Structure 1
Amino acid sequence: MIRLPFIMIFVLALTLLGGCAANKELVIDIWPKDKIPNQLKTDIKEVQEYTDILKISRVQKPTIEVFLPHASKATGKAMLIFPGGGYGILAYDWEGTSVAKFLVDHGIAGIVVKYRLPSDETQIDKHYVPLIDAQRAIRLVRSRSKEWNIDPVNIGIIGFSAGGHLASTLGTQYDNMVYTAVDKIDSLSARPDFMVLMYPVITMGENTHKGSRNNLLGKNPSAEKVMQFSSDLQINEDTPATYLIHAMDDKAVPVANSEHFFALHNAKSNERGQLYIFEEGGHGFGMAEDNEILRKWPLLVLDWINSLETD
């Protein structure tokens, strides 16, 4: 048996403890018990399946999973993360917790939102439900900003695919009253200070992702609903600064979604907009850790977020 001197054991213990304490995460219900808006009482339970990624469906109790950087690294910034999955599932680790861990490593609090997916079985007006949860989630984070060492005016959002649609909906309809306030948290602003949209579904019209539209609005939505949930048509002068990333060869969500949002954002918003298009990448590449070119996108986003401070 190898015996280490006491001082070496002490130093090793401190190192291990420091590593454990460097990043903290916690899971919090975003609604008080029995006060979830637009929810029907059923026996339906949440489903979690893990194959190559963790897929969550039938969410009944929306939560935020909060990853906080060590105080010595914290920048005061935070980002809420909306995983994609066509409004049918949440690619929870692929486009959620993996992103949060990257952000934490760079001093940004990463907050994964497990939002409810549209369901005629469990909800009254299913098309409003993801936005309801998104508005509440960002308000909840603002309410805890002092406790979590977050600047309440430096809270951004990032969404992937259908999660990008939800993020863009929040960024353009943050002041749309889609639920009745349940407590004082709901008096806080739901406006993101900046947003990143990754291969997002933007329109519910011609270039939409049909699976996302069908799940959110149904197979034959009215023209009014199509317009309301086409985020490019909801941009105004107060729409937050936006960075969009897409691949030219995306077969699931045409790159025109990002291109059109970018063009209208720059025409209407007073905030900065930027678009980065990869020549290849397809759809749903997540953090793209195995792709030498695509995996650069998180660093591009960090540079852009830091550049906002000079505006």
Structure 2
Amino acid sequence: MKAHGKLSLLVVLFSMGMSAQDTIMPLWPKTIPNQVESLEKEVVEYTKDGIIWITNVQKPTLEVYLPAKRNANGKAVVIFPGGGYHGLAYDWEGTEIAKALNVKGIAGIVVKYRLPWSKSITKGKNMVPLQDAQRAIRLVKSKAADWNISENKIGIMGFSAGGHLASSLGTHYSDIVYQKQDEIDDLSARPDFMALIYPVITLGVPSTHTGSRVSLVGEDPTDEEVDYLSNQKHVDGETPPTFLLHAMDDEAVPVENTTMFFDALRAQKVPTTMHIYPTGGHGFSLALHDEKLKNWIDLLFDWLDNLD
């Protein structure tokens, strides 16, 4: 290869590397709320099923997947992977979902949010995920023009405990949970829509997911802490339109989480679609190997196409 050819190839490879790096960005421009510097390290490993499992998140980020510009329809979904507020099933309920959205022209943006049990979080552990969620959607809104996204078509999606975080954002978007760091924090944190997939909704017994509850509010929470993050209690007429999906035989997160949220949304006349499958269990993600469930995401795409 001639010298100028090698140089051109290096420039291309360097540019590709820079572009890839630019798809991951920190949430916080200054200090990370409620957190101190520590010797703790983020842990990234694989489960026995080959899922990327992240624990001990120290620096929350956005990972951005954009469709080709000619395919983009202006919609974006901010995605919160599940993991019981103890870890994040980062590809299974995060990056793989973003890629599936891209196929339909939708931007998929995965949030690597902090987990309350980390020792570097010194106070307000139960508020830390919501801090990251509010900041995430504000940051996406601030980048709408750069990312070819419509400002009024930015929604959220969460799986399991990530569904709890998404529903927390959808019901507590106007609550002040951190101090302003820049002009981005002047933007509304209200999502334009929500998709909640086998979500944890309540922290109340008997329907809660015990692992998520303990990770988020501890073994002996106050009634106030439980009520604040039992999100069916905070639905109002401004709660965003919502898509709900669950399986009846979910033994980890009882299906009552979804049905009680549907009832609360219906009572407030919030446009809502709910799909309950008889089987499927918990944590099925795209369910590509389940003949009954594998097309569930098409129901989501149809719903998104018909949003006002």
Please give the TM-score of this superposition, normalised by the length of structure 2: 0.91
Superposition CA RMSD, Å: 1.5
Residue 244 of structure 1 aligns with an amino acid whose one-letter code is: L
Residue 74 of structure 2 aligns with an amino acid whose one-letter code is: G
Cα distance between partner residues in 2 of 1:93 and 1:120: 21
Consecutive aligned runs of 4 or more in structure 1 exceeding 3 Å deviation: none
Cα distance between partner residues in 1 of 2:150 and 2:130: 23
Cα distance between partner residues in 1 of 2:110 and 2:118: 25
Look up the match of 2:46. Answer: 50
Note the alpha carbon deviations across 1:272-310, whole angstroms, 9 max, x for none.
11110011000000111111221111110010011113x
Cα distance between partner residues in 2 of 1:125 and 1:180: 13
Cα distance between partner residues in 2 of 1:120 and 1:158: 24
* Residue aligned with 1:294, SS: coil
Residue 86 of structure 1 aligns with an amino acid whose one-letter code is: G
Note the alpha carbon deviations across 1:23-82, whole angstroms, 9 max, x for none.
97710001114x111112211010001131000000000000000011110000000000
Residue 226 of structure 2 aligns with an amino acid whose one-letter code is: V
* Residue aligned with 1:211, SS: helix
Cα distance between partner residues in 1 of 2:57 and 2:290: 32
How many pairs were matched up? 287
Cα distance between partner residues in 2 of 1:296 and 1:302: 10
Residue 245 of structure 2 aligns with an amino acid whose one-letter code is: I
Look up the match of 1:32. Answer: 29
Please give the TM-score of this superposition, normalised by the length of structure 1: 0.90
Look up the match of 2:113. Answer: 115
Look up the match of 1:77. Answer: 75
Cα distance between partner residues in 1 of 2:283 and 2:116: 20
Residue 23 of structure 2 aligns with an amino acid whose one-letter code is: L
Note the alpha carbon deviations across 1:164-220, whole angstroms, 9 max, x for none.
000000000000100000000000010000000000000000110000000000011
* Residue aligned with 1:168, SS: helix
Look up the match of 1:138. Answer: 137
5+ residue gaps, structure 2: 1-12
**Shift, 1:119, TM fit:** 2.4
* Residue aligned with 2:276, SS: strand
Look up the match of 1:87. Answer: 85
* Residue aligned with 2:295, SS: helix
- Correspondences of 1:70-219 after superposition (within 5 Å): 70-119=68-117, 121-123=119-121, 124-206=123-205, 207-219=207-219
Residue 171 of structure 1 aligns with an amino acid whose one-letter code is: G
Residue 194 of structure 1 aligns with an amino acid whose one-letter code is: F
* Residue aligned with 2:74, SS: coil
Cα distance between partner residues in 2 of 1:43 and 1:125: 20
Q: Is the 8 A contact 2:67 2:103 kept in 1?
A: yes
Residue 236 of structure 1 aligns with an amino acid whose one-letter code is: D
Residue 170 of structure 1 aligns with an amino acid whose one-letter code is: L
Cα distance between partner residues in 2 of 1:208 and 1:90: 19
Cα distance between partner residues in 2 of 1:60 and 1:83: 16
**Shift, 1:120, TM fit:** 5.5
Look up the match of 2:275. Answer: 276
Residue 37 of structure 2 aligns with an amino acid whose one-letter code is: K
Q: Is the 8 A contact 2:56 2:118 kept in 1?
A: no
**Shift, 1:139, TM fit:** 0.2
Q: Identical aligned pairs, as a percentage?
A: 54
1:189–1:279: structure 2 CA closer, same or farther, 3 Å change rule?
A: same
Residue 71 of structure 1 aligns with an amino acid whose one-letter code is: K
Q: Is the 8 A contact 2:247 2:276 kept in 1?
A: yes
Are positions 1:68 and 2:75 aligned together?
no
Cα distance between partner residues in 2 of 1:175 and 1:100: 26
Q: Is the 8 A contact 2:86 2:117 kept in 1?
A: no
Note the alpha carbon deviations across 1:128-147, whole angstroms, 9 max, x for none.
00000000000000001000
Residue 109 of structure 1 aligns with an amino acid whose one-letter code is: A
Cα distance between partner residues in 1 of 2:194 and 2:35: 28
**Shift, 1:105, TM fit:** 0.8
Cα distance between partner residues in 1 of 2:45 and 2:184: 33
Task: Pick the aligned partner of 2:37 from 22, 38, 41.
Answer: 41
Note the alpha carbon deviations across 1:87-121, whole angstroms, 9 max, x for none.
00000000000000000111000000000000251
Cα distance between partner residues in 2 of 1:120 and 1:307: 41
- Correspondences of 1:209-288 after superposition (within 5 Å): 209-269=209-269, 271-288=270-287
Cα distance between partner residues in 1 of 2:231 and 2:295: 27
* Residue aligned with 1:196, SS: strand
More off after superposition, 54-63 vs 291-300: 291-300
Cα distance between partner residues in 1 of 2:273 and 2:102: 23
Cα distance between partner residues in 1 of 2:25 and 2:41: 18
